[in-house]
Amino acid sequence: MANLKEIKNRITSISSTMQITQAMKLVSAAKLKRALDAITQLRPYANKIQEILGNVSATLDLSENRYAEQREVKNVLIIGISSNRGLCGGFNNNITKKINELLKGDLAGKNVELLSIGKKVNDSFKNGGILNRPEHLSNEAAIFDDLTFEHVSEYAQYAMDSFIEEKYDQVIVVYNEFKNAAVQIIRDQQLLPIVPSTSEEDSNEIGDYIFEPSKEEIISEIIPKSLKLQLFKAVLDSNASEHGARMTAMHKATDNATELKDDLTLEYNKARQASITNEILEIVGGAEALNG
């Protein structure tokens, strides 16, 4: 059994760790509230815009909408969204696993490049030879310091320009979709080319659209903004998921530290009781020897 000083030092160390994990949990909870408000307000609008975008694309000729051009997929851009920091459970590892699954599955044999949003996914693939870091987008960690639509739009604009220039035939976004603080759903969403609506229900609704202004203006203005909005939604989803995952991870870490501290306290009390008992026995034994 460890001596009393060693056990006491471990209890002190674990108590300090508990204070840190509890503080991190509270910070993440506060950040989650703001992030959740942002994605909750944006999600209905973004989903409806995506639905309309698919319907409108189905009414346009290929010559009118280059963003829906279906080509033989040879070159693929993956936009991987992770966090800048760890201590959030499997949040970042799940993104890395999903990208690796795509590389070994549907995208096997294709020329794939990765554009990272967030430091962790960049670190995971920095030696893999697939990272694409355009000079004006090289600071992948800075986006979460200023999480705005304008900042995220730079990444979407690069993807759209590269697709039109036929540098990439397909653009896929991999991110964590927020469900609740304990559950995040890994998504691999095709950003480009735009997938036209094919369901019968959507097809019946297509004829209800009246184009105002002209189709040309819709293509030049609304469709690019819609694509930027889809990427912005993915980043906000990932941001909320990160704080939820970190809050959950820190909550579990605090609970584990509490349980370990209780076990060590019990061990300390037993060791202290044994030490006191031994001292009493030694005193009694010494007194008996003197009396003898």
Task: State the average pLDDT over residues 91-120.
Answer: 90
pLDDT at 268 over 90: no
Query: Which pLDDT score, from 0 to 100, does residue 96 have?
Result: 92
CA distance 292 to 154: 93
Q: Which two tokens stand for residue 138?
A: 């090289």
Strands 111-117 and 170-180: unpaired
- Residue 200's domain comprises 21-249
Rg of the chain taking only CA atoms, in angstroms? 28
CATH code of the domain covering residue 49: 3.40.1380.10
| Cβ neighbours for 215, distance < 8 A, ≥ 6 positions apart | 60, 64
> Which among 184, 252, 176 has a CA at the least distance from the CA of 24?
252
Q: Which two tokens stand for residue 23?
A: 């503080």
Burial environment of residue 38 by CB neighbours within 10 A (0 to 12, 13 to 18, 19 or more): middle
Task: State the average pLDDT over residues 19-29.
Answer: 91
Band of residue 20 on the pLDDT scale cut at 50, 70, 90: very high
Band of residue 276 on the pLDDT scale cut at 50, 70, 90: confident
**Each residue of 134-183: pLDDT tens digit?**
877 766 677 888 788 988 998 999 999 999 998 999 999 999 999 888 88
Task: Give the H or E element holding residue 187.
Answer: strand 183-192
Please indicate, yes or no, if residue 275 is contained in any of the structural domains: no
Please indicate, yes or no, if residue 282 is contained in any of the structural domains: no
Please indicate, yes or no, if residue 5 is contained in any of the structural domains: no
Residue 169 near residue 76 (C-beta atoms within 8 A): yes
Please indicate, yes or no, if residue 232 is contained in any of the structural domains: yes
88: annotated active-site residue: yes
Task: State the average pLDDT over residues 247-256.
Answer: 92
| Cβ neighbours for 64, distance < 8 A, ≥ 6 positions apart | 215, 216, 219
Which is catalytic among the residues 88, 102, 218, 229? 88
Output 280 or 56, whichever has higher pLDDT. Answer: 280
pLDDT at 250 over 80: yes
Domain count, the chain: 1
Please indicate, yes or no, if residue 103 is contained in any of the structural domains: yes
Burial environment of residue 8 by CB neighbours within 10 A (0 to 12, 13 to 18, 19 or more): middle
- CA of 147: how far to CAs of 74, 116, 231, in Å? 32, 15, 12
Average pLDDT of the chain is: 84
Please indicate, yes or no, if residue 271 is contained in any of the structural domains: no
**Each residue of 185-229: pLDDT tens digit?**
999 999 988 876 655 554 445 456 676 777 667 667 788 888 999
Burial 134-153 (b: 16+ CB within 10 A, else e): eeebeebeebbeeeeeeebb
Share of the chain above pLDDT 70, in %: 86
Please indicate, yes or no, if residue 284 is contained in any of the structural domains: no
Task: State the average pLDDT over residues 22-46.
Answer: 89
Output 30 or 139, whichever has higher pLDDT. Answer: 30
Query: Which pLDDT score, from 0 to 100, does residue 207 have?
Result: 52
User: φ and ψ at 37, to 5 degrees?
Assistant: -60, -40
Strands 183-192 and 170-180: antiparallel
Task: State the average pLDDT over residues 68-89.
Answer: 89
Query: Which pLDDT score, from 0 to 100, does residue 170 have?
Result: 93
Q: Which of 13-27, 87-101, 157-171, 218-232 has the lowest mean pLDDT?
A: 218-232
Please indicate, yes or no, if residue 201 is contained in any of the structural domains: yes
pLDDT at 274 over 90: no
